[in-house]
């Protein structure tokens, strides 16, 4: 990943909050994802009532578009959390949206790697993600974020509220994420490929 481009977008984070009329101290949870069943966003929405019970001032932003958007919006209305959930649609400034968050959540049912997790880590945003596919290769549970079982709104709610209520833990995970993110940069990838070719030539 081009982490320099990610970091260049980060200063736009406060503007994302301003556009939503949210103050800097409002707990903001969010994700950037394709709105498709495999992303498990229905479980994040199902977790919101419990998150709001524990963190009454929290808001959720969902950036991205897809064929499940209408279904997810209807689900939000049915669960009576519509005033706290914001659908942003497709965003070209996804890194700025991520930079605005206190907690980044990826509730996927399956995931090859989760490039958005690297973006969050590079920006120092602590992560809650499901323990599926390649996610554990990116996020070490308890070090850069918290990993939970898939399709478990209760587990998502517990992990998210833990980070919202414990800023010191959230900051520690964010710092660890920022330190780990360069392992997934394009520069490191090119260096590793070059070393692989040199080894093959020898």
130-176: pLDDT as tens digits: 999 999 999 999 999 999 999 999 999 999 999 999 999 999 999 99
pTM over 0.85: yes
DSSP per residue, 34-62 = --SGGG-HHHHHHHHHHHHHHSTT-EEEE
Separation of alpha carbons 192 and 109, rounded Å = 30
Segment 88-113, tens digit of pLDDT: 999 999 999 999 999 999 999 999 98
């Amino acid at each position: 990943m081009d982490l320099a481009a990610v970091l260049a977008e980060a200063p736009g984070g406060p503007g994302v909050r301003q556009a939503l009329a949210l103050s800097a101290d409002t707990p903001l949870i969010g994700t950037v994802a394709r709105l498709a069943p495999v992303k498990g966003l229905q479980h994040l929405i199902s977790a919101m009532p419990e998150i709001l019970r524990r963190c009454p001032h929290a808001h959720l932003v969902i950036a991205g578009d897809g064929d499940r958007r209408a279904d997810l919006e209807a689900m939000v209305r049915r669960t009576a959390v519509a005033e706290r959930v914001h659908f942003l649609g497709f965003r070209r400034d996804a890194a700025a949206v991520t930079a605005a968050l206190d907690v980044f959540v990826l509730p996927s049912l399956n995931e090859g790697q989760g490039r958005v997790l690297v973006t969050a880590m590079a920006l120092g945003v602590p992560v809650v993600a499901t323990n599926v596919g390649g996610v554990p290769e990116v996020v070490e549970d308890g070090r850069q974020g918290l990993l939970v079982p898939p399709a478990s709104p209760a587990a998502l709610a517990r992990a998210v509220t833990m980070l919202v209520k414990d800023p010191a833990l959230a900051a520690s995970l964010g710092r660890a994420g920022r330190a780990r993110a360069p392992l997934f940069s394009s520069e490191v990838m090119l260096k590793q490929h070059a070393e692989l070719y040199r080894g093959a030539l020898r």
